[in-house]
Amino acid sequence: MALIDLLLLGQGQDLQSERGVSCTGSLPDTSDPQLVERAINARKVLGNRAMVLGHHYQRDEVIDFADIRGDSFKLAQAAASNSSAEYIIFCGVHFMAESADILTTDFQKVILPDLAAGCSMADMASASQVNQCWSQLTKLNIAQRTIPITYMNSSAAIKSFTGKNGGAICTSSNAERAMKWAFEKGEKILFLPDQHLGRNTAVLKLGLSLSDCVVWNPWKPNGGLSDQEIEKAKVILWRGHCSVHGRFSIENVDQVRNTLSGVKVLVHPECKHEVVAAADVVGSTEMIIKTVEQSAPGSKWAIGTELNLVQRLANENPDKEIVFLDKTVCYCSTMNRIDLPHLVWALESLAAGNLVNQIKVEAETAKFAKVALDRMLALP
Ligand code: SF4
């Protein structure tokens, strides 16, 4: 692992411990044979007072209890459109639960069954680092001409920074529209925190060149860039990445094409630029699912995304041949923290009248984060 990855991992662990212990009280034992029955019973007691949202990357044992399955955008929309459930039990990661809290009413409480379920990418851009970067861009008279575009996979604090500074949130399915919108308002984009989604969209969708993009390294003075490089760039990419998608390589693509005749490579735009450029189809999590489901029987797919989802797609589409793009890439470890014992613990605690693991975004932060989220929802 490169030194920068270790530093970023360390930063993620600090943020994780700041979020507090994963849950209070005692968790059911993983070997308890009654776990499924306990979850069903607690779910029945809660009835319509609770809604369980499950991200596609969750384990099968958890996703089985989801009222709605989706990617981060679809789940945020689901949370926003339900104003009756008192408890939104979010089986996903911390930034998703924050977005759900921002988009729901004050009466609703968002619960994350394990508080340590963070996202290493979101943790790669802290509020103080982003503010430092913006101050530097302001000194250079560049911030005034720059629009921040922030990927949904970011903390509420970074979404709030974006809202305050005239920018918008984007997802992997509307990043192109968000960047086009930003170029109508300003000359440059500061893209946070996923450099790969920013670069892939700028080059493959907007037709910019790789040299139009520079990478801001928050660990170096001036982002590790000269003033001239920043002035010349059209897109300033934050040095962040997904520790799962960032591991797929061009060698994986070559290898699967050499070993599986007729295979099509289907990847998420959080993968590196060379992987995305070599793939047959690139799309968001929802688009990956649709592409496989709508493909002809006998189709062969090598998929570069999180392993729980790829395994589920293989199980649910037995008439197609589905392989994982790289056998050495594993599950998203933070998504995987939410297991059946944590879900049972959260459901039983709520059913017993104990509010646990609530995710609450501070009012001022939520106000400007919502401005940025609303700008995304209003994108043409
Ligand atoms: S898959 Fe990547 S972006 Fe998604 S939660 Fe895990 S680390 Fe974060």
CA 333 to ligand 1 centroid distance, Å? 9
Measured distance CA(370)–CA(374) in Å, rounded: 6
**Residues paired with residue 276 on neighbouring β-strands, in sequence order:** none
- The answer, yes or no, to whether any atom of ligand 1 lies below 6 A from the CB of 242, is yes
- The answer, yes or no, to whether any atom of ligand 1 lies below 6 A from the CB of 200, is no
Measured distance CA(184)–CA(236) in Å, rounded: 16
- The answer, yes or no, to whether any atom of ligand 1 lies below 6 A from the CB of 93, is yes
- The answer, yes or no, to whether any atom of ligand 1 lies below 6 A from the CB of 117, is no
Kindly give the interhelix angle for 156-164 and 127-139, rounded to the nearest 10 degrees: 20
pLDDT attached to residue 161? 98
| End-to-end CA separation in angstroms for the chain | 41
Q: Hey, what's the torsion of the CAs at 192, 197, 199, 201, to 10 degrees?
A: -120
Dihedral of alpha carbons 217, 281, 61, 328, sign: negative
User: Of 186, 105, 112, 202, whose CA–CA distance to 146 is shortest?
Assistant: 186
Measured distance CA(263)–CA(180) in Å, rounded: 33
Q: Which residue has the tokens 């993620």?
A: 12
**Residues in CB range of 12: below 8 A, 6 or more apart:** 118, 120, 123, 124
Ligand 1: which residue has its CA nearest to atom 3?
242
Residue 271: C-alpha distances to residues 114, 151, 241 (Å): 27, 14, 9
Closest ligand 1 atom to 270 CA: 3
Ligand 1: which residue has its CA nearest to atom 8?
119
pLDDT attached to residue 4? 39
CA 56 to ligand 1 centroid distance, Å? 11
Ligand 1: which residue has its CA nearest to atom 6?
332
Cβ-contact 148, 192 below 8 angstroms: yes
pLDDT attached to residue 19? 55
In terms of Cβ atoms closer than 10 Å to its own Cβ (0-12, 13-18, 19+), residue 251 is exposed
Closest ligand 1 atom to 92 CA: 5
Measured distance CA(20)–CA(356) in Å, rounded: 12
Measured distance CA(372)–CA(363) in Å, rounded: 15
Tell whether pTM > 0.85. yes
Closest ligand 1 atom to 194 CA: 3
- The answer, yes or no, to whether any atom of ligand 1 lies below 6 A from the CB of 332, is yes
Residue 89: C-alpha distances to residues 9, 54, 184, 289 (Å): 27, 9, 38, 23
Element (H, E) at 198: helix 195-200
Q: For the stretch 177-208, what's the b/e string if a residue is b when 16 or more beta carbons lie within 10 angstroms of its beta carbon?
A: bbbebbbeebebbbbbbbbbbbbbbbbeebeb
Ligand 1: which residue has its CA nearest to atom 2?
242
The parts of the chain modelled with pLDDT lower than 70 are 1-21, 23-25
- The answer, yes or no, to whether any atom of ligand 1 lies below 6 A from the CB of 306, is yes
- Residue 40 CB neighbour total at 10 angstroms: 12
